[in-house]
Amino acid sequence: MAGHHQELVDALQELRRAAGWPSFRTVSSLIREREDGRSGASHETVRSTLNGRQMPRWETVHDIVLVLAGLCTPPRDEETETGRFLLLWRAAGEGEKGALKSFQELANSGWGGEDGTWTPEMVMGILVNPFSAIEIAPALAAPHEPAISEDMWVQAMARFVEEQGAEHALRVLLHTLKGDYIGAAEGAPYGYRDMDREAMDARGAFLHGCREVRRRLGKEPNLLAESIRAMRADDTMDRHDRAEMLENESDLSLMREVMIVSPETWDEVSEDAHHMVFGYLIKQIGPPGPLGLPDAERFPIVWRIPEPVEG
């Protein structure tokens, strides 16, 4: 008897002992009484299975395990026992490879190990997870609407593996996950546009710009007035932006806030005033670079008044 088959038989014998060593006929009768029975195994089939005379069908093992688990004192959990014996039965029929759960079983019941013991699936799960081998590019973890279904992706990758070989396909996949993907220069896969991501980037750019504005205002008392003059003299300013700025300047209460802005009063004025000062001092910010970069690199600023070089 092969090694894995012997392990299956030994486990069945242990379960039979724990169940009080019922006869083969008793086990067969109880199988046939169950509504969830799959095999209708005769006492001879039960005998052959428990004695290891032949490799049984899974349905037979399943039914024997259910009956014996129920006869144990206290009764053993049927789902746990059938799951344990499925691995043993697979290993007996297919070797070590068969001891692993199918994908559907993984999806339904997870990797196992809830009792603190390592399972073959847990070891496999660690090995196949790219997180174990590389640092995944943050941009690839951004929320987004998938462009294709999982099934389509799997089919495409299966064809890639068939045509190029498994090792090449896996190395390309890791290379992609590390950040060398189409569209990486723009910070998003193949020009993908995600409105939530864009809104987050815009907010991030604004907050970074505001921090830099406060920093410069603290060092350069005349910066706001000089920036306003530079903005008015800027012939390249977008006419819509200029029209919006002029409209805002007609709001006297808003302008009173703008004129008192300093690092000390920043939190006391409205966000509208923040936007006005931002527009006066900053000519352009961005476009945003890839996620993971420091804000100063992600959101490059073009000032209306260049920052003095510190000697």
Read off the pTM: 0.41
Element (H, E) at 175: helix 166-177
Helices 24-33 and 58-71 cross at an angle (nearest 10°) of 100
- pLDDT for 39 equals 86
- pLDDT for 81 equals 86
* Residues in the chain with pLDDT values less than 70: 1-2, 94-124, 183-198, 311
Alpha-carbon distance of 53 to 56, in angstroms, equals 9
Alpha-carbon distance of 247 to 243, in angstroms, equals 6
The amino acid occupying position 5 is H
- pLDDT for 256 equals 93
- pLDDT for 99 equals 54
- pLDDT for 105 equals 60
- pLDDT for 188 equals 61
Alpha-carbon distance of 228 to 278, in angstroms, equals 11
- pLDDT for 121 equals 65
Helix (H, G, I), strand (E, B) or coil at 282: strand
- pLDDT for 109 equals 64
Identify the residue whose tokens are 């008015």: 232
**Of 131, 125, 128, residue with least CA distance to 166:** 128
